C-alpha cells in the first residue's frame, strides 16, 4: 500500500480509538489481502504494524476480531457513501446513477478493502456473518427500490429486477479486483462510466 | 461440490491422463476454493482425493503444479468457449452478444473454478503468470475487437473502449463469486440476461 492509500484508510477508521488500533487494522487488511484471511498470521500482522505478536493481543483478542472490525467498517462505509450520494436527488434515474457512481468509485478507491470484504465473508463467525449480510442487503435494497420505482413510473426499463441489481453490483465489486491507479483512470471516473453504462442498460 | 458439479468438472479435464490425476485436480480445486491457495495443504488435497499425501507426489511435484494445471485448463476452456460461441455469427452486435452469453454462462457454470482463477493469479510463478495473462488478454481482445469494429461500422455506441470491455468482463467474472444454483437462475439464462444488458449499454 502506498502513502496515498495509507492516508485514505486512516480516514476510514479515524473514529477507532488509539493510533495503535488503527495501525493494526491497516496491517491486518494488508496481510489478509496478500495471503487470504486463513493463511495470514498474527505474527505477520504484528510485524507490519511494527509490534510484537504479544502486544497485538492487548488490542484485539484474535485475528478474527480484526477481520470483524474491518468488515463492519467497510460495509458501513459503502452503505453510508451511497446514502449520502443519493440524498438530494429525486428521480429514480438520478438516484440510480448516484448509487452506481458512489458504489463503483468506493470499490476502486478502497480496492484492497473491497477485495477482502468480498472474499472473506465466509470466514466470519455465524453471528457476525448475519450482521454483515444485513448491511450488504440494505445496500442492495437501496438500488433495487429505485429500479422498481423507476419501472413503475415508466422512467426505467427493467426486465429482471434481481438480475439487473446483481449486474449493477458486479460492476462495482469487480472493480476492487482489477483497479489499480497505474492502470489509468481515477475512482471517480470509473464510477461515472459505470453510471452512464447502467443508465443506458435501463433505457 | 455436488454430484452435478463433479460431473461437469470431470468433463473439463477429460483430456488429462489417468483418473487419479483428474481426481486430484478436483480435490485441489475444492481445497483452493475453501481455504485459498496459500492456506490449502497437500494433506487436505490428498484426503479429499482419498489418497495418502505421499501418493500425491507421484502425480504432481507440488501444490503449485496443481494450481498451474487448474489455471491453464480454466483459462483455455473459457477462451475456447467464447471462440466457439462467436463462430457462425457475423455482425459485431451478434458476436458481442455471443461472447457475453458464453463468458458469463461459463463463470456461473464453473463458479468454483472461476473464483480460483480470478483470485489466485498472483500465486503463480512468474513464467506461468505470463502464459496465463496471455490467455486472459486473448479473451479480452476478442470482445474489444468486436466493440471497435461495431463502433467503426456505426452499429455499436462505445465511448470508452477499455472501460466498457472491463465492465463486460466484470459481469462474468463476478458471477463466479455470487452464483449458486439454489439462488435461482441457471447459467445459460444469466449469460443471456448479461448479453441483453450489454447490447442495451451499446445502443
User: For B152-170, how does the pLDDT look when each residue is reduced to its tens digit (9 = 90+)?
Assistant: 999 999 999 999 999 999 9
A108-122: pLDDT as tens digits: 999 999 999 999 999
A3 pLDDT band, cuts 50/70/90, is confident
Residue-level pLDDT at A184: 67
Q: State mean pLDDT over B64-71.
A: 97
Decide if pLDDT at B5 tops 90: no
Domain ranges of chain B: 3-63, 68-201
* Percentage of chain B modeled with pLDDT above 90: 91
CB A200 within 8 A of CB B200: yes
B84-112: pLDDT as tens digits: 999 999 999 999 999 999 999 999 999 99
CB B174 within 8 A of CB A115: no
Alpha helix ranges (H) inside chain A: 3-12, 19-35, 42-49, 53-56, 63-86, 92-109, 111-119, 126-152, 161-178, 187-201
- From residue B61, alpha-carbon distances to B12, B44, B56, B75 in Å are 22, 16, 8, 22
Fold of A3-56: Arc Repressor Mutant, subunit A (1.10.10)
Q: Is B14 helix (H, G, I), strand (E, B) or coil?
A: coil
Among A31, A136, A140, A193, which would you mutate to test the B interface (most chain B Cβ atoms within 10 Å of its Cβ)? Answer: A193
* Percentage of chain B modeled with pLDDT above 70: 100
B16-45: pLDDT as tens digits: 989 999 999 999 999 999 999 999 999 999
Residue-level pLDDT at B2: 81
Among B37, B117, B193, which would you mutate to test the A interface (most chain A Cβ atoms within 10 Å of its Cβ)? Answer: B193
A10 pLDDT band, cuts 50/70/90, is confident
Nearest to B178 among A35, A166, A185 (CB): A166
Kindly determine whether residue B119 and residue A119, on different chains, have CB atoms separated by under 8 Å: yes
A25-54: pLDDT as tens digits: 999 999 999 999 999 999 999 999 999 999
Given CA atoms A173, A174, A177, A181 in this order, what sign does their dihedral have? negative
CA distance B25 to B13: 8
Given CA atoms B43, B45, B48, B51 in this order, what sign does their dihedral have? negative
Residue A39 has phi, psi (to 5 degrees) of: -80, -20
Kindly determine whether residue B167 and residue A200, on different chains, have CB atoms separated by under 8 Å: no
Fold of A63-201: Tetracycline Repressor; domain 2 (1.10.357)
Residue-level pLDDT at A72: 97
Nearest Cα residue in chain B from A119: B177
A182 pLDDT band, cuts 50/70/90, is confident
Decide if pLDDT at B126 tops 90: yes
Decide if pLDDT at A183 tops 80: no
Residue-level pLDDT at A5: 86
Q: Which CATH class is domain B68-201?
A: mainly alpha
Q: Return the ∠ at Cα B21 (arms to B17 and B23), rounded to 5°.
A: 120
Q: Which CATH class is domain B3-63?
A: mainly alpha
B182 pLDDT band, cuts 50/70/90, is confident
Decide if pLDDT at B184 tops 70: no
Residue A174 has phi, psi (to 5 degrees) of: -70, -20
- From residue B99, alpha-carbon distances to A200, B114, B143, B196 in Å are 20, 16, 7, 12
A167 pLDDT band, cuts 50/70/90, is very high
Question: In the block, which residue shows the cell 456473518?
Answer: A129
Amino acid at each position: 500500500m502506498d502513502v496515498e492509500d495509507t492516508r485514505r484508510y486512516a480516514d476510514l477508521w479515524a473514529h477507532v480509538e488509539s493510533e495503535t488500533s488503527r495501525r493494526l487494522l491497516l496491517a491486518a487488511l494488508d496481510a489478509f489481502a496478500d495471503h487470504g484471511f486463513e493463511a495470514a498470521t498474527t505474527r505477520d500482522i504484528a510485524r507490519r504494524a511494527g509490534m510484537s505478536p504479544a502486544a497485538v493481543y492487548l488490542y484485539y483478542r484474535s485475528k478474527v476480531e480484526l477481520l470483524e472490525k474491518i468488515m463492519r467498517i467497510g460495509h458501513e462505509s459503502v452503505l453510508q457513501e451511497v446514502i449520502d450520494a443519493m440524498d438530494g436527488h429525486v428521480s429514480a434515474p438520478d438516484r440510480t446513477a448516484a448509487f452506481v457512481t458512489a458504489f463503483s468509485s468506493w470499490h476502486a478507491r478502497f480496492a484492497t478493502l473491497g477485495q477482502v470484504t468480498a472474499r472473506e465473508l465466509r470466514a466470519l463467525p455465524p453471528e457476525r456473518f448475519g450482521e454483515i449480510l444485513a448491511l450488504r442487503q440494505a445496500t442492495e435494497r437501496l438500488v433495487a427500490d429505485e429500479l422498481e420505482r423507476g419501472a413503475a413510473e415508466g422512467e426505467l426499463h427493467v426486465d429482471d429486477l434481481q438480475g439487473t441489481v446483481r449486474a449493477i453490483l458486479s460492476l462495482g465489486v469487480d472493480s476492487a479486483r482489477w483497479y489499480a491507479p497505474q492502470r489509468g483512470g481515477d475512482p471517480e471516473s470509473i464510477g461515472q462510466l459505470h453510471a452512464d453504462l447502467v443508465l443506458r442498460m435501463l433505457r
